[in-house]
Amino acid sequence: MKTLVVYASKHGATKVGAERIAKGLEGEVQLVSIKDKSDIVLDNYEKVILGTPIYAGMINKDIKSFCEAHMDILKTKKVALYFCCMDSSQIENYLKNNFTEEFIKNLTAVESCGGAFYFKKMNFFEKFIIKKITESKEKTKENPAKVDTKVDIELFDEERISKFTTALNQA
């Protein structure tokens, strides 16, 4: 069984998520960054996994365009979607606000694999926004209280990743 993992990653967290997901999948798996390859051919794959970061509640525009451009062929595949984000409680909202009902109904699995803040790759404004958002929220596992923008933070959820890959291997 051939599986394609297509992801978009601005600072690298969604790529790390794709790599962790790929490790748990059975069969032949190919990872493709949507940024590096615009002519992705889906015909040779039985499963297609899409990975996108979430910024201010929105998915990556290239992933959105990819889904819209390939909707007909995606309907014929087992399609799964993972979000790379720090707030996994909003999965339903991310789906509703970014995808059509038709696309959502066709999904085999949906999950949030957690995320990371790679501050060394961020600009000043991005660091500032993250610091303000985290300071304004209640301290939780997904939302550390004080953020030191000099130290990267990885909060990938291995349990969710395992649940996601198990569901895909059984699909």
When the candidates are 3.40.50.720, 3.40.718.10, 3.40.630.30, 3.40.50.360, the CATH number that belongs to 2-118+153-170 is: 3.40.50.360
Residues 6+ apart with CB under 8 A from 37: none
Q: Which run of H or of E encompasses 49?
A: strand 47-53
How high is the pLDDT of residue 146?
67
How high is the pLDDT of residue 138?
58
- Amino acid identity at 51: G
How confident is the chain (171 residues) per 10-residue block, as mean pLDDT?
A: 93 95 96 85 94 92 93 95 90 93 94 92 88 69 65 91 95 88
32 three-class SS: strand
* Residue boundaries of the structural domains of the chain: 2-118+153-170
